[in-house]
């Protein structure tokens, strides 16, 4: 009960709320469930008035920071005017304006915008488009997709099939067949023969894609999907030449290159799309999150104009869609969000500050538990190891005790919300709002230092 005699939110949550990707037992065993009630800038507050630094932009979402009045206004204005209408056989101004605007920001001829409600739905849409496109253009057997180890692409059955994290998939098997895994670009764990040469490692990793296409049969493969900077496993940037080589392989075998930019788009890597920063144009981009800075749900599949060609005339239809795809309120919020990006030069801000951010995080390398610090833009992973010299990682039991049992809770208790993840080797990830600056880098690094120092002592 609180002072007003009402049951607490934590008690009420325990009775009815099913949280996502959440182990519920601690909250039935007496652990306190944090209830977040307010956000402002790079910070948020819980119901007890405690302030936290949002070190991960609330799941890589809140690019422009919390509490932006103009985004709230954009949503309210649109909801009053036209709260909802689908884009099924009709259209509305905000979806049209946003499609135009996103097309103008996307690289190359990626001009066709298919809105979704989320990143997973965008990935799902991309695979379905790739399959149907080849069916309509005389290569009907192309249907398999190549994705990378430890990558996360979402939870719908198709997107989950492309995900490279066994633990997330096994409970839901059988999944969609026809997805094949290749190495990601984790240079810290590069095979020995390319461990000293970043370029050679990139070529090695890219060439495994060609090998997989050959093995499966080029006539059976429709797409390769990858994140330009892979989140899961801890922020793997592409080695120089890697994306260029992947592009070349996709062209050689007539396979579509899908860049899953659910996290890396809208400033996270210092450009509207990370692929633009790397100078390689994919055939499809999937995005979500930062498109609205999380103020309203929206995702998009952005396709090269040639992939739309078969649907332009005659009776062909992409028989696929979502009720919430292109939601007017979300589209209005996205437009206002992009206005903020432009006005405040957020992409340039990230590029200007990334070296300073990394410099702060790199000071943690003297800690015995810190094996690697990697990433770019406002997107970094700190890999935790048991032995720096050998790069030995923690056992499952140690990782459970370390990450779930201590690091996550201690960060939060110390006022830092960031992510500790053991879907690959154990990492802590930081990815603040793009308005963060030196004050936040310093605060983050101090808390990380104190918690990781303590973590070493409890192993
Ligand atoms: C790369 C990537 N793809 C897809 C998804 C799924 O997005 P959503 O949760 O919006 O469905 C995520 C979510 O974090 C992601 O990081």
- Which domain-ending residue is among 304, 328, 344? 344
Percent of the chain with pLDDT over 90: 94
Distance from residue 458's CA to the centre of ligand 1 (Å)? 33
Distance from residue 169's CA to the centre of ligand 1 (Å)? 15
pLDDT higher than threshold 70 for residue 164: yes
Distance from residue 258's CA to the centre of ligand 1 (Å)? 14
pLDDT at 458: 83
Asked whether 154 lines ligand 1 (CB < 6 A), one says yes
pLDDT higher than threshold 90 for residue 341: yes
Range of the domain at 187: 69-344
Average pLDDT score over residue span 309-336: 97
pLDDT-based confidence at 4, cuts 50/70/90? low
Distance from residue 264's CA to the centre of ligand 1 (Å)? 11
Question: What is the number of other CB atoms lying within 10 angstroms of the CB of residue 442?
Answer: 13
The verdict on 208 and 334 lying in the same domain is yes
Q: Do the beta carbons of residue 139 and residue 254 sit within 8 Å?
A: yes
With respect to residue 12, please indicate whether it lies within any of the assigned structural domains: no
pLDDT digits (tens, 9 = 90+) for 396-416: 888 888 888 899 999 999 999
- Give the CATH number for residue 138: 3.40.640.10
The verdict on 112 and 38 lying in the same domain is no
The verdict on 312 and 363 lying in the same domain is no
Can you spell out the DSSP letters for 147-213?
EETT----SSHHHHHH---HHHHGGG-S--S-EEEE----GGG--GGGTT-HHHHHHHHHHHHHHHH
With respect to residue 29, please indicate whether it lies within any of the assigned structural domains: no
Distances (CA, A) of 82 to 91, 268, 298, 324, 455: 12, 31, 17, 14, 52
pLDDT at 392: 95
pLDDT higher than threshold 90 for residue 423: no
- Which domain-ending residue is among 311, 344, 377? 344
Asked whether 379 lines ligand 1 (CB < 6 A), one says no
Strand 179-182 and strand 144-148: the pairing is: parallel
Asked whether 263 lines ligand 1 (CB < 6 A), one says yes
- Which domain-ending residue is among 288, 321, 344? 344
pLDDT-based confidence at 2, cuts 50/70/90? low
pLDDT higher than threshold 90 for residue 355: yes
With respect to residue 212, please indicate whether it lies within any of the assigned structural domains: yes
Can you spell out the DSSP letters for 267-305?
TTTSSSSHHHHHT---SEEEE-GGGTTTSS--EEEEEEH
The verdict on 371 and 410 lying in the same domain is yes
pLDDT higher than threshold 90 for residue 155: yes
Average pLDDT score over residue span 10-34: 95
Atom index in ligand 1 nearest the CA of residue 263 equals: 16
Distance from residue 275's CA to the centre of ligand 1 (Å)? 17
With respect to residue 5, please indicate whether it lies within any of the assigned structural domains: no
The verdict on 336 and 389 lying in the same domain is no
pLDDT-based confidence at 366, cuts 50/70/90? very high
pLDDT mean across residues, the chain: 97
Number of domains in the chain: 2
- Give the CATH number for residue 58: 3.90.1150.10
Asked whether 153 lines ligand 1 (CB < 6 A), one says yes
With respect to residue 94, please indicate whether it lies within any of the assigned structural domains: yes
Which of 119, 226, 273 should be mutated for ligand 1, with most atoms under 8 A from CB?
119
The verdict on 104 and 184 lying in the same domain is yes
pLDDT at 1: 52
Q: Whose CA is nearest to atom 4 of ligand 1?
A: 153
The verdict on 354 and 432 lying in the same domain is yes
The verdict on 357 and 236 lying in the same domain is no
Asked whether 261 lines ligand 1 (CB < 6 A), one says no
pLDDT at 223: 99
Distance from residue 132's CA to the centre of ligand 1 (Å)? 23
Distance from residue 361's CA to the centre of ligand 1 (Å)? 25
pLDDT at 405: 85
Phi, psi of 248 (to 5 degrees): -60, -45
pLDDT at 459: 79
The verdict on 339 and 375 lying in the same domain is no
pLDDT at 402: 87
The verdict on 42 and 80 lying in the same domain is no
Distances (CA, A) of 419 to 194, 276, 295, 403: 30, 27, 21, 9
Strand 43-46 and strand 51-54: the pairing is: antiparallel
pTM for the whole structure: 0.98
The verdict on 296 and 150 lying in the same domain is yes
């Amino acid at each position: 009960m609180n002072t007003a005699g009402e049951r607490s939110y934590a008690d009420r949550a325990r009775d009815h709320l099913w949280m996502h990707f959440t182990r519920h037992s601690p909250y039935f065993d007496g652990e306190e469930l944090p209830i977040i009630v307010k956000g402002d800038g790079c910070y948020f507050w819980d119901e007890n008035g405690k302030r936290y630094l949002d070190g991960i932009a609330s799941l890589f979402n809140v690019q422009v920071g919390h509490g932006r009045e103009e985004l709230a206004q954009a949503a309210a204005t649109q909801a009053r005017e036209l709260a909802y209408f689908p884009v099924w056989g009709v259209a509305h101004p905000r979806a049209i304006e946003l499609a135009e605007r996103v097309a103008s920001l996307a690289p190359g001829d990626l001009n066709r915008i298919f809105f979704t409600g989320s990143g997973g739905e965008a990935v799902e849409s991309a695979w379905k488009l790739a399959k149907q496109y080849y069916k309509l253009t005389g290569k009907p057997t192309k249907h398999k997709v190549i994705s990378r180890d430890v990558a996360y692409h979402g939870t719908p059955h198709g997107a989950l099939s492309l995900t490279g994290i066994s633990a997330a998939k096994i409970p839901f098997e059988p999944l969609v067949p026809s997805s094949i895994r290749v190495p990601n670009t984790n240079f810290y764990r590069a095979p020995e023969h390319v461990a000293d040469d970043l370029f050679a490692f990139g070529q090695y990793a890219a060439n495994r894609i060609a090998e997989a296409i050959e093995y499966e049969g080029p006539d059976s493969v429709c797409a390769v999907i990858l994140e330009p900077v892979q989140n899961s496993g801890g922020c793997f940037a592409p080695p120089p030449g890697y994306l260029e080589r992947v592009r070349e392989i996709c062209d050689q075998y007539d396979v579509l290159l899908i860049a899953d930019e659910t996290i890396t788009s809208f400033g996270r890597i210092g450009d509207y799309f990370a692929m633009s920063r790397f100078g390689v144009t994919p055939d499809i981009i999937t995005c979500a999150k930062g498109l609205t800075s999380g103020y309203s749900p929206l995702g998009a599949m952005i396709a090269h104009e040639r992939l739309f060609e078969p649907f332009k005339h005659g009776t062909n239809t992409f028989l696929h869609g979502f009720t919430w795809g292109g939601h007017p309120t979300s589209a209005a919020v996205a437009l206002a969000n992009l206005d903020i990006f432009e006005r405040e030069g957020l992409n340039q801000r990230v590029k200007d500050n990334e070296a300073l951010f990394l410099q702060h995080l790199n000071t943690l390398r003297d800690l015995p538990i810190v094996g690697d610090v990697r990433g770019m833009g406002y997107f970094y992973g700190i890999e935790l190891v048991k032995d720096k010299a050998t790069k030995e990682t923690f056992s499952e039991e140690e990782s459970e005790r370390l990450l779930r049992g201590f690091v996550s809770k201690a960060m939060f208790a110390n006022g830092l919300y960031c992510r500790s993840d053991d879907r690959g080797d154990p990492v802590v990830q930081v990815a603040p709002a793009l308005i963060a600056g030196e004050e936040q880098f310093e605060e983050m690094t101090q808390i990380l230092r104190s918690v990781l120092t303590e973590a070493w002592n409890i192993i």
